[in-house]
Amino acid sequence: MSVSRRSFFSGLSASLGGMVGAAEAATPELRAPAGGPRWGMVVDTARCIGCQACTVSCIMENAVPEDSFRTIVSTYEVREGDRAAMVMLPRLCNHCEEPPCIPVCPVGATYQRADGIVVVNADACVGCAYCVQACPYDARFINHETQKADKCTFCAHRVDAGLLPGCVESCVGGARIFGDLNDPGSTVSRLLAQNESKVLKPEMETGPRVFYLGLDDAFLGKVEAEPTLWHPSHGQEAQS
């Protein structure tokens, strides 16, 4: 029995509507309580030694599959005349104030918690990768084991238990500092008040809540430098 194009798309629309409704029902309340925390991170690039302890601890803590990364330290060799220097660029989800990954999700699987942490509801995610394409920081991927969108969550399960994110706890040089940006007495707030900080790709106006100390302007966007020492995923160059 043939089905008209009109009836087919009518049924498809109803099905998608049901998916969106289910996703909305599974999504927690997003309004921040008065005086609640707004979590963020400060990265002191002068303290990062590129050891990848953060990368490894994140993989172990969050069961990240092979050749995928929720956080990583890109390492670059920069030359100026006869001089050469190494630059370390820790990278992760920026948990933006205006996350471009959220409005493109057709089922509401990506959302922002009241404390600012951007997470993915895996039960609702359909693996369409729209959010992966929308993220300007290359901080998302499709988990090839679950076929769901995956990303850094600031180790929300640890934060909820009063612990630090795994990458912060394992950082050898103390380059990653995590805390409440709404608390003027927190270490992250004091660091930002006392130092000049920068964010990646400021022209995107996403309001990143990962701030960098001591980062050269040349590394705020696409990096024009030679990646070196260690490469994620079969030697492919990591672009910021």
Average pLDDT, stretch 35-59? 95
- Across-strand partners of 110? 120
- Across-strand partners of 234? none
Q: What does the pLDDT read at residue 221? A: 87
Average pLDDT, stretch 77-87? 84
Does 32 score more than 50 pLDDT? Answer: no
Does 16 score more than 80 pLDDT? Answer: no
Does 14 score more than 90 pLDDT? Answer: no
- Return the minimum-mean-pLDDT range out of 14-28, 80-94, 106-120, 155-169: 14-28
pLDDT band at 47 (very low <50, low <70, confident <90, very high): very high
Element (H, E) at 18: helix 5-26
pLDDT band at 225 (very low <50, low <70, confident <90, very high): low
Does 73 score more than 90 pLDDT? Answer: yes
Kindly indicate whether the domain formed by 38-98+153-227 is annotated with CATH number 1.10.150.530. Answer: no
pLDDT band at 228 (very low <50, low <70, confident <90, very high): low
CA atoms within 13 A on the CB side of 85: 7
Q: What does the pLDDT read at residue 26? A: 39
Burial bucket for residue 214 (CB in 10 Å: 0-12, 13-18, 19+): middle
Q: Which residue matches tokens 């995956």?
A: 150
pLDDT band at 6 (very low <50, low <70, confident <90, very high): very low
Q: What does the pLDDT read at residue 85? A: 83
Domain spans of the chain?
38-98+153-227
pLDDT band at 86 (very low <50, low <70, confident <90, very high): confident
Q: What does the pLDDT read at residue 164? A: 98
**C-alpha 237: how far from its chain's center?**
19
The span from the first CA to the last CA of the chain, in angstroms, equals 53
Q: What does the pLDDT read at residue 80? A: 80
CA atoms within 13 A on the CB side of 57: 17
Does 22 score more than 80 pLDDT? Answer: no
Does 204 score more than 70 pLDDT? Answer: yes
